[in-house]
Chain A
Amino acid sequence: MSIFGKRPPVQKIIISIIFLLCFSYLTTIRIGSCKAEEKEDTPSATKVMVETIKFYQKVISPAGGDRCPMYPSCSNYALQAFQKHGFLLGWMMSADRLMRENASNPSNYSLISIKGQLRYYDPLENHDFWFSRRQKSKEVP
């Protein structure tokens, strides 16, 4: 079914990308809460992604089994990425992680034992250190 009409495929891909970017922009606009006292900090698109990942972790992942060779698992990594950096960066970081999930460069990771199983340690901090503000320690004299 053609909804773009008779256009070249590359043009259609570009239209799709523009559509996605517009969609992302619109959905990242903060939506005010119905309840005045309820603090609404998380943009809606991020919220949708976070809830989707939580649903995956709760329902789908237990059925599929424990397969991710990395720690934190890809879903946890994505969850952290969306919560920390929002929709677009969270999405990009999650996609980047999924492409690295096969650990094709094992020498880049240190091994960590989780519940008796060795995993590749690949925390979010190893990938956002160059743009994420360093956590400041608590006030001391």
Chain B
Amino acid sequence: MIILGLTAPVLAIDERDLCSDPEKVFIFAEHLYEIQDYLNAIREYRRVIFLAPCHPLAKKAKLKIGFAYKKDEKWDEAIASFQKVADEYLGQEEGKTASFELGETVFLQRDYDKAIKFYRAFLKSYPTDEFVPEARFKLAWAYLYNKDYLVARGELEQIGPSTDYSITAKGLSQDIGQISDLPQRSPRLAGILSAIVPGSGQIYAGKVGNGVVALIINGLFIAAAIQAFDNDNDIWGGIISLIEIGWYGGNIFGGIASAHQYNRRIRDNYIEKLREKYKMEPTARNPQGEKVFGLAVITFRF
């Protein structure tokens, strides 16, 4: 009893130390992060910030909150956290990482418009940083996904010759240049064909089934209208003609849209091949700045 009585306060002090020592709390938070218990990790990171707001670990904890939200696919919270760190620690290591991660996070969400803006903001704030070639390379991909091929090539050409990305960027730029050589269908010709013979525009753009249906429906309605007018049933003829103009307009629209869809599909397939060729996977960067490939894969939208 006496021994217990003597050791109990010591044990209690140790426990208090553990709870109030920011370094130990940070280590515990890191452990939770490692075992993918992100929500509890975020709680512990917040504890570090609360216990020692001026401690160097507080900066790291703020950054890691953003990473934990990102890993947990809570995109809005991740963006808000990274944005806060990027603004608060502008010009510092944490601010730089957060600024880059803003682009990475929205890139993962496939919001390429936002990714472009965030990568641009990173390049503006850190123009001579070692991650600039990577940011520019990602920026080029964002433009490529947005079908801004010329701008994408422009970004790739700005990647310096002595970087890890120089050879890849050159090859990708050349491959992007070949997009204009891909087989295309003329939307104008498809529209004209559909106007002359309903459904032929769709057939020209590779949608044979749709073309045949358009031809049958338009043919039947035109025949019915002619029949009605032939029988001096002008009211029915007028009604059928009014409906037919809808089918006819829809058929022309369908022909033009089919050609556009054909062109888009060809380009998308080509870009998907490029993505596979260049193993384009969003990089996940841990707070130490190491790159970890293969954590997530972007699949292209069709």
Q: Which residues of A contact B (CB under 8 A)?
A: 1-4, 7, 9-10, 12-13, 16-17, 19-20, 88-89, 91-100, 102, 104-105, 108, 110, 126-127, 129-130, 134, 136-138, 140-141
Nearest chain B residue, comparing its CB with the CB of A12: B229
> Nearest Cβ distance between residue B253 and chain A, in whole angstroms?
4
Residues of A with C-beta under 8 A to B225: 9, 12-13, 16
User: Which B residues lie at the A interface, using CB under 8 A?
Assistant: 102, 106, 111, 113-114, 117-118, 121, 187, 207-210, 212-214, 217, 222, 225-226, 229-230, 232-235, 237-238, 241-242, 244-247, 249-254, 256-257, 260-261, 264, 302
Q: In the docked arrangement, what's the CA distance between A49 and B222, Å? A: 24
A9-B229, A141-B117 as given contacts; A95 in contact with B237, CB under 8 Å? no
Instruction: Give the shortest distance, in Å, between B258 (CB) and chain A (any CB).
Output: 9
- Using a Cβ cutoff of 8 Å, how many contacts connect chains A and B? 121
User: By the criterion CB–CB under 8 Å, are A95 and B226 in contact?
Assistant: no
Find chain B residues with CB under 8 A from A10 CB.
Answer: 226
Alpha-carbon distance between A1 and B232 when the two chains are bound, in angstroms: 6
Chain A residues with CB under 8 Å of B118's CB are 140-141
> Does the CB pair B257–A95 fall under 8 Å?
no
Q: B229 to chain A: which residues have CB within 8 Å?
A: 4, 7, 9, 12-13
**Docked pose: A104 CA to B106 CA in angstroms:** 37
Q: Which residues of chain A have C-beta atoms less than 8 A from B234's C-beta?
A: 1-4, 12
Contacts of A127 in B (CB 8 A): 257, 261
Q: Which has the most chain A C-beta neighbours within 10 Å: B111, B213, B232, B257?
A: B257
| Secondary structure class of chain A's binding surface, majority of residues | helix
Residues of B within 8 A of A140 (CB): 102, 106, 114, 117-118, 121
Instruction: Report whether B260 and A20 are in contact in the complex, using a CB–CB cutoff of 8 Å.
Output: no
A28 to chain B, nearest CB (A): 15
Residues in B neighbouring A104, C-beta threshold 8 A:
209-210, 212-213
Q: Are B238 and A19 in contact (CB under 8 A)?
A: yes
Given contacts A9-B226, A20-B242, A99-B254, contact A129 B260 (CB under 8 A): yes
Chain A residue contacts of B245, Cβ below 8 A:
16-17, 20
> Is A16 in contact with B241, judged by CB distance below 8 angstroms?
yes
Q: How far is the CA of A93 from the CA of B255 in the complex (A)?
A: 11
Cα–Cα, bound, A134→B249 (Å): 24
B217 surroundings in chain A (CB, below 8 A):
99
Report how far A94 CA is from B225 CA in the complex, Å. Answer: 21
Greatest chain B CB density within 10 A among A7, A94, A134, A141 is at: A141
Please judge, given known A-B contacts A4-B234, A99-B210, A141-B121, whether A92 and B241 are in contact too, CB under 8 Å: no
* A141 CA to B83 CA, complexed, in Å: 10
| Known contacts A91-B246, A92-B252, A130-B257; 18 further A-B pairs (Cβ under 8 A) | A1-B232, A3-B234, A9-B229, A12-B238, A13-B225, A16-B237, A20-B245, A92-B246, A93-B253, A99-B250, A105-B208, A105-B210, A127-B261, A129-B264, A136-B113, A137-B114, A140-B106, A140-B114
Indicate if the CB atoms of A102 and B230 lie closer than 8 Å. Answer: no
Residues of B contacting A92 with CB < 8 Å?
246, 249-250, 252-253
Chain B neighbourhood of A99, CB < 8 A: 210, 213-214, 217, 247, 250-251, 254
Cα distance A19–B237 in the bound complex, in angstroms: 13
